Structures are given as C-alpha cells and as structure tokens.
Chains A and B, each alone.
Chain A
C-alpha cells in the first residue's frame, strides 16, 4: 500500500536526515515506525505525505507515485502531524466540514461520522468552539477525528498518542485495528513501545536516517526473549 524505494533526504546538500530508506507497508496492516529522537521519523512521514520532497528515491501510495501524481496519491490517505499546528482561528466543526468537502464526503455521511467520531472522543460538544481554545489533547482528538472522517485507505499518524488521555488512547487503538480489519492501512510513529508492541503487525526501526530493523512483531520477538523496549534499546545503541 505504501512502497518506499531508496529515499534519501539531504538538507543544505550535507546533512542526511534520511539515508536510502526502503519499506513496503501492506494493505490491512498496522505499521509502527520507531526510532530515537531526531532519527528521521517525522522527515520520512513528511516525505510520504508529500510535505517534503525526497532528495532521491520514490514513494508509491497505493501504486501511485506521489511525485508524479500527487493528487491521486493524496486522495488515498489522511495525515495527523506530530504537533497539532492547524489553522487555530476557526471552530472545530469548520475544520471537519472543510476536510469533508476536500475529501468529498456527503452531507449525510459527514453528519453521521462526525457525530460518531467526535462523540467517541468526547469533543462533540466542543465543536462549536474556536480551535484556539482547545487543549493539546482536544486538538489531537480533532485531528484524529478528521483523519478518520473520509474513511481513507491509509491513515498516517505522527506520534498520535501524545496528549491523549487513557480512554482516548484506547479508542484510537481500537479504531486503528477496526480500520485495518476493514482493509485499511495504518502507518504511525510512536515512542510508546508497549503500545506499539500490542497493536502493530509490523515494526520498522530507524536510526540516524537508516532503517536498522523491519519485521513482524513475532519475528522480531522470536530473535530475542526480551521485550520490544529491550530490543529497541539494543538495536539503537549498537547499530
């Protein structure tokens, strides 16, 4: 569903933020993207979403090259960034209606899904408020609701659990599973290893821009008796 072929990203022609990265994320799987701070996770996700252009390499979204046909490619996914930096001066409902219009969600469908999603996350009653007045967690819930709203094939989330309360975290995890069980794909980055361990089908670990491990949770764990946290520590220290 997401095929990354030898992508690299250099800044100022010198600093290599991502170095010859290859990944193939399949339909129906939850793919966890791990790595220490500054490893290149956000840069990679930004390249996948078309925010940043890779210096070299190709990214295929559902078989479409995001460089050659960005519109078609972007129509397949929604994205939640690591910082909820969105246009803050509009109301929550303005934001969701805006997304619904961009992704062609009918009025009936959007009403049903907005009420359902925001009701589950507990922000339905706050949709009439200006986003500026939301807490960090509320903004995150709004962005997540917006990502699920068009029912895209792929949802890309950069640190989606930061700022969420335990109840919302659980709702998000179950929604992610439900989305993949229905044929969707999730790519998300996180530092919360115990969560990654419990919900991911496959995990990729990145360090200094290079992918140092990429396998199913079962395969990774079969190589060692340790927890994912221990494996992560071992890999990121030795690689």
Chain B
C-alpha cells in the first residue's frame, strides 16, 4: 500500500508538473493565479449553458434534468479528452521502461497511471458538471444532503469514462505496441473515435429535433426515461438529487463495481499495454538514398515531418484544420441551417463574407505557428547550430503553417465550388481575403511562440495543448473580431454590404500583415536568437 501511495503521488506530481510547466509560466505564484483564472474562463461556457438549460427546464417544471443533461455532456467530453490521454499514458510514456523495472506489483503500476487520468478527467468533470451542480443547488435550496450528493457526483463521474475507455483500448494493446506504424494507428483510432462521438451527438441531436418523435416519447414516460433508457447512470444521478435513495445507491454501486473491475483487470491491462510497449515491435528498415534537396525544401519538410510523425501533433493540427467541416456538418445535420439558405435573398449581401470566412476558417481555428518552435522541444538545437539565419529559420516555420493551412483552404474551396455558386471575381476576392488573413495569423502566432518558446517539455501533449500560446493565439483572433465589430458599430457605412466588408478587411489585414512581418524580421529575429535551450 505504501509503494502504491508513493507511486501514485510521484505520478501525480509528474503529471501536474508537466501541466503547469506546459503553461510556460516562470513565476510560480503568477502561474497559479493564471491557472485559476484559466479554470474560471474555461468554466464560463458550461455555466452559461447550464443557466440557459435550467431556465428552459424550469418552465417545464423539470429542473432536475439539468443534472442529466450536463452529466451526459460531461461524460461525452471525458471520453473525448480521456481516450487519447489514456493512450498517451500507456503507450507513449517515457517512464514505462523505468517503471517496469521497479519492484512494484503490476496492478500498482496500472492504478498509479490511471490515477493521473482520473485527476485529468476530474478537472474536466469539475469544469462541465460543476457549474450545473452549483446552479441547481442555488436554485433548489442548499442542503447538506444535496451538497454531499454533488461532491459524490463530481468524484464518481470520471470513473465510467475512465474504465470504458480503458476497456476499449485494452484489446488493441498488442497492435499498438507491436506495429511499426503504431503512431499512425493511434491517430487513425483517435479520429475514428472522435467521428463516433460526433455521430452519436448528431444522431441524438436529430432525434430530439423531430417534434413527433419527442411527443411520442413523452407519451411513453418523459425525457428522463428516454435518456435513462440510453444511459441509466444519468437517470440514477438525477433521481438521487430529487431524493431517491435507491437511485443514489444504484449510482454509487455501479461506480464502486467499476473500481473493483478495474482493480481485477489491472494485471491484464499491464501485460497488454505497459509490458507489451516495453518489448517494442519489429523495426522496419527502409532503403537508403542519397538525394539533394534545397535548404528551403529540407527545412519546410522537417517542420511538416515534426507534425506528421508525432500523433499528438498530427491529431491536434489535423483536427483543427478540418474542424470547420465537422461544425458545418453538425449544423446542417441538426437542421439549424441548410444549404438552401445560402441561395436566399436575405443572405445575398453576406454570401461573399460567408465564403471568405469559410475558406479562412482553418487558419482561424488552427494556430500551427503558435507552437512551431515549441514542437521541436529539445531537438531545437539542431537548426540553431547550423548555418541557417534566424530569419530563414522563422520564415520556413511560417511557410510551413501557410502551406498546411492553405492545403486545408484549398480543400474547402473545392467543396465551396459545389455548394456556393459565385462568379470568378468574387471567388478571387474570397481567396485573396483568406490568403492574406492566413499569412497575418501565421505571422502573429510565430511572434507569440518566439516570446514563449517553451522547449523543455517531455510529453507532446504539453507542447500543443496545455500551452498558453494557444490561448493567446485564440484571444488575438477574438480581439481582431471585436475590433471589427466595434468599427462596424462606430461606422456601419464602412462595411455597407458584405462585399465591402471583405474588401476593406482584406486591405486592413494586408496592412497589419506588413507591420507584423516588419516587426518579426527587425525585432523578432533578435529575440529568436536569444532563445535558450
């Protein structure tokens, strides 16, 4: 027990350390404050959503469904975040070999690893389900019983996604560890899983969109039963909040049962994952070649390979580049919007704006430059000691971002050609807008990364996800949008009609791009040269 406790503590310290160092804050206290502020900001969407849902349900007199709804959301998010994290912890952790050599039982090793996943999911649960519980408690009257139930709910919520994700991954342990293409397999697996989750949401979203279906199901027993039929723990938890001890017992019982299952399957998990990973698989030996490429090609290709060869980077960048397609697909599938709307007279003035924003969405959602230096980590020294100027080094990183974002934009353009009929001139305007904005954002993001390089990471997740650079990058996009909105409020005539807006924006972005570019190649290079490894 003592060893297990030490092991869990060291794993948690390592995990929290990676996370906080991933934020790249040098000042410890400021870092902590920032962490709390960040948590507060991250909880805002769930708080707003919970308030809206609560108000709607209060009209129907079924406020307790807030718990059901947010519990389900929380579980779905935990699957999305937890699944890649479990893979990362079991198949890509650098300490696996070392831990496997220690005189510790197999199940202790597995439990200590899962403890870090649990803490991670607990944070997700607190940020999503937490606000809903607080809102419910405040509105329903705070009592000791409800507070206890809320605490139990928060503590227990991560267990189901944790165990189910683990069980899904378990049979694939041998494939992950033995295949020479493990990284690609992990990426493919993650994408399939993500598609599955989105599909699930789409299916249920459209299910509840149909009023006849809702009427029919209501007649059968109400929303609680409908959701409960699909995911019983959500209904048990909801009923526990309304005072049902039986439901509370069922919820607690299921979670405790899962803990026991986890305890007994830990050994199997160890042999299928940690141990198999330590064996390493067959290594492919490709044909050697001697071929010259230009320095530009080599450096750009190197930057692209850093993304392609690391599943976490590939997943992260790949998803943000195609995310707009997913979002549009969801909106169309749910029926909130339809392609026919694009042809309507009301939207006519804004069609060019919509097309332009659609084409540039990969650059807006992606922030590849914001981690362009960070992604290299400890191998950053390679290009630093070579006879490559800082300006060249920065330029090819920006070009890499531009190429990747533009490939995505090109794919979107092909799609747009089929769904939005336009004249070649307007397509030209939209393309010019998206290319200029892509260039501007690629330049702005690299400035962030030059100022906050954060090269000393050990887990690739901390390089691209738990990195404040990404937040800063998104903030800049929000500020840009806000500035345009303010200009629109002050001088609406400037943006009269969507086409004018696109034209004026393109000119403004081009000006900003030149300014940022000038700054990078005059001041930024010096700062880049001073980056310490």
Interface residue from B287, B305, B385 paired with A89 (Cβ < 8 Å): B305
B295 near A130 with CB under 8 A, answer no
CA of A77 to CA of B310 in the docked complex: distance in angstroms? 30
Interface string of B307-333 (1 = CB under 8 A from A): 001100000000000000000000000
A197 at the interface (CB under 8 A from B): no
- Closest residue on chain B to residue A93 by CB atoms: B288
A171 at the interface (CB under 8 A from B): no
CA of A78 to CA of B293 in the docked complex: distance in angstroms? 20
Q: Using Cβ atoms and an 8 Å threshold, which residues of chain B touch A128?
A: 284-288
Considering only residues 176-208 of chain B, those with a C-beta below 8 Å from chain A are: 183
- Closest residue on chain A to residue B388 by CB atoms: A102
B148 at the interface (CB under 8 A from A): no
CA of A75 to CA of B386 in the docked complex: distance in angstroms? 7
Interface residue from B290, B295, B390, B533 paired with A110 (Cβ < 8 Å): B290
B386 near A102 with CB under 8 A, answer yes
A71 at the interface (CB under 8 A from B): yes
A71 near B295 with CB under 8 A, answer no
Considering only residues 88-143 of chain B, those with a C-beta below 8 Å from chain A are: none
Considering only residues 126-146 of chain A, those with a C-beta below 8 Å from chain B are: 126-130, 133
A86 near B382 with CB under 8 A, answer yes
A106 at the interface (CB under 8 A from B): yes
Residue in B283, B384, B387 with the greatest tally of chain A CB atoms within 10 Å:
B387
CA of A91 to CA of B533 in the docked complex: distance in angstroms? 24
In the assembled complex, the CB of A27 is this many whole angstroms from the nearest CB of chain B, namely: 19
- Closest residue on chain B to residue A77 by CB atoms: B385
A53 at the interface (CB under 8 A from B): yes
A52 near B286 with CB under 8 A, answer no
Interface string of B269-305 (1 = CB under 8 A from A): 0000000000010011111111111110010001001
Q: Using Cβ atoms and an 8 Å threshold, which residues of chain B touch A127?
A: 288
Interface residue from B283, B290, B295, B532 paired with A102 (Cβ < 8 Å): B295
A71 near B379 with CB under 8 A, answer no
CA of A164 to CA of B15 in the docked complex: distance in angstroms? 33
Considering only residues 46-77 of chain A, those with a C-beta below 8 Å from chain B are: 46, 49-53, 70-72, 74-75, 77
- Closest residue on chain A to residue B286 by CB atoms: A128
B292 near A130 with CB under 8 A, answer no
User: From DSSP, what is the main secondary structure of chain A's interface residues?
Assistant: mixed
B426 at the interface (CB under 8 A from A): no
CA of A194 to CA of B308 in the docked complex: distance in angstroms? 44
In the assembled complex, the CB of B452 is this many whole angstroms from the nearest CB of chain A, namely: 17
B2 at the interface (CB under 8 A from A): no
Interface string of A134-164 (1 = CB under 8 A from B): 0000000000000000000000000000000
Interface string of A79-96 (1 = CB under 8 A from B): 101010111111101000
Residue in A71, A77, A85, A98 with the greatest tally of chain B CB atoms within 10 Å:
A98
A97 near B291 with CB under 8 A, answer yes
Interface residue from B280, B288, B378 paired with A85 (Cβ < 8 Å): B378
B389 at the interface (CB under 8 A from A): yes
Residue in B295, B305, B382 with the greatest tally of chain A CB atoms within 10 Å:
B382
B389 near A70 with CB under 8 A, answer yes
B291 near A71 with CB under 8 A, answer no
Contact-residue size bin, chain B (C-beta under 8 Å from the other chain): 35 or more
Interface residue from A52, A86, A111 paired with B532 (Cβ < 8 Å): A52
B384 near A51 with CB under 8 A, answer yes
Residue in B287, B377, B385 with the greatest tally of chain A CB atoms within 10 Å:
B385
B530 at the interface (CB under 8 A from A): yes
A103 at the interface (CB under 8 A from B): yes
B309 near A103 with CB under 8 A, answer no
A239 at the interface (CB under 8 A from B): no
In the assembled complex, the CB of A142 is this many whole angstroms from the nearest CB of chain B, namely: 12
A114 near B285 with CB under 8 A, answer no
Interface string of B495-518 (1 = CB under 8 A from A): 000000000000000000000000
B309 near A93 with CB under 8 A, answer no
B376 at the interface (CB under 8 A from A): yes
Q: Using Cβ atoms and an 8 Å threshold, which residues of chain A touch B293?
A: 97, 101
CA of A207 to CA of B385 in the docked complex: distance in angstroms? 25
B292 near A70 with CB under 8 A, answer no
Interface residue from B286, B292, B310 paired with A91 (Cβ < 8 Å): B286
CA of A102 to CA of B296 in the docked complex: distance in angstroms? 9
Given A81-B381, A90-B309, A103-B387, A98:B298 Cβ within 8 A: yes
Q: Using Cβ atoms and an 8 Å threshold, which residues of chain A touch B389?
A: 70-71
In the assembled complex, the CB of A105 is this many whole angstroms from the nearest CB of chain B, namely: 8
A90 near B530 with CB under 8 A, answer no
A87 near B382 with CB under 8 A, answer yes
A–B Cβ pairs within 8 angstroms, 9 of them? A74-B388, A89-B309, A90-B309, A97-B290, A99-B386, A110-B290, A125-B285, A128-B285, A133-B283
Additional pairs, 14, CB under 8 Å, beyond known A53-B530, A86-B379: A49-B384, A51-B533, A52-B533, A70-B389, A71-B388, A74-B387, A74-B388, A87-B382, A97-B291, A97-B293, A103-B387, A107-B292, A111-B290, A114-B288
Interface residues in chain A, defined as those with a beta carbon under 8 Å from any beta carbon in chain B: 46, 49-53, 70-72, 74-75, 77-79, 81, 83, 85-91, 93, 97-103, 106-107, 110-111, 114, 124-130, 133
Interface residues in chain B, defined as those with a beta carbon under 8 Å from any beta carbon in chain A: 183, 280, 283-295, 298, 302, 305-306, 309-310, 376-379, 381-382, 384-390, 529-530, 532-533
The 8 tightest CB contacts between A and B, nearest first, are A89-B309, A128-B286, A75-B387, A85-B378, A111-B290, A74-B387, A128-B285, A133-B283
